[in-house]
Amino acid sequence: MFASFMMNTWIVATVVAVVAGCVGFFVVLRGATFAAHALPLGTFPGAAAASLLGINPLWGLFVFALAGVIGIARLGRRQRNDVATALTLITLLGFGTLCLSLSGHYAQAVYGLLFGQIIGVSTADIPPVLAISLAVVAAIALCVRPLLLNSVSPDLGAARGVSSAGMDLVFLAILALATAMALPVVGALLVFSLMVGPASAARSFTSRPFAAMALSVGIALATVWAAIALAYYSDWPIGFFVGTFAALAYAAARGWQWASARTGSRRLA
């Protein structure tokens, strides 16, 4: 499990979990789970396009993620956010279908991008992943207070000079970078579960924003590390374990919240 060929996976998965925990807090706070689900599905065909061009698939994911942000942001001005997200997803998936049909030797890589892969992380993938993760964390650190204010109360944020459209664009850009980075490890179908599950569980444990963000990162790390270990010994897709543990974390948090509420009611009675 800690062999030399697995170290790249441990490093990248740890970075992905930290970023997913931070970004996932804002995904849950803003109720943007549909965007967190749609962007990975819309960006994974970028890897197919990159394969046709003979470049690193990560850069294809990055370009398609930015295309998704631009599409959602521009269409969102004329349509509801969920409609804009769906239209953008349809467009990207349509183009991705064409790329996949032109590349018949890409089936195994597509499976890895959909469900995640445990030994598919190379040393060449580490520098861009670290660079993107640092960019995401820096963006969150710079915009954390206006982003929090806009997420909790857009009207109050506008009254204090926080642009709602600007914050929406910043959030989508951060989400796109995070999903493009996490997709090769976790998989497009379950990358959003790493963002939504731990963050939802953390918000059930505490209402303090920074404590919830830190707890979300901790749960995401535990989820990814346990998923890697079990995927290594079982040879099952890592995405399956990530989704399962994320759901269990949320279920445990809701159970704890319910038990706490009952205990409080009994004390009042």
- Residue pair 31/85 in contact (Cβ under 8 Å)? The answer is no
Task: Tell me how far apart the alpha carbons of residues 262 and 260 are, in angstroms, rounded to a whole number.
Answer: 5
Task: Tell me how far apart the alpha carbons of residues 26 and 174 are, in angstroms, rounded to a whole number.
Answer: 10
What's the pTM?
A: 0.80
Q: Domains for the chain: give ranges and CATH numbers.
A: 4-257 (1.10.3470.10)
Sequence-distant (6+) residues with CB within 8 A of 103 are 48, 51, 52
pLDDT (tens digit per residue) in 104-144 = 555 566 666 666 666 667 777 788 788 888 999 999 999 88
pLDDT (tens digit per residue) in 165-183 = 788 888 888 888 888 777 7
CA atoms within 13 A on the CB side of 183: 35
Q: What is the DSSP letter of 4?
A: G
What are the pLDDT tens digits along the chain (269 aa)? 666 667 888 888 889 889 989 999 998 888 877 777 777 777 777 777 776 777 777 777 778 777 777 777 666 665 566 676 777 777 777 777 777 677 655 556 666 666 666 666 777 778 878 888 899 999 999 988 899 888 888 877 788 888 887 888 888 888 888 887 777 666 666 677 888 889 999 988 888 889 999 999 999 999 989 988 888 888 787 778 888 898 899 899 888 888 887 776 666 65
Burial of 265 (0-12, 13-18, 19+ CB in 10 A): exposed
pLDDT score of 267: 66
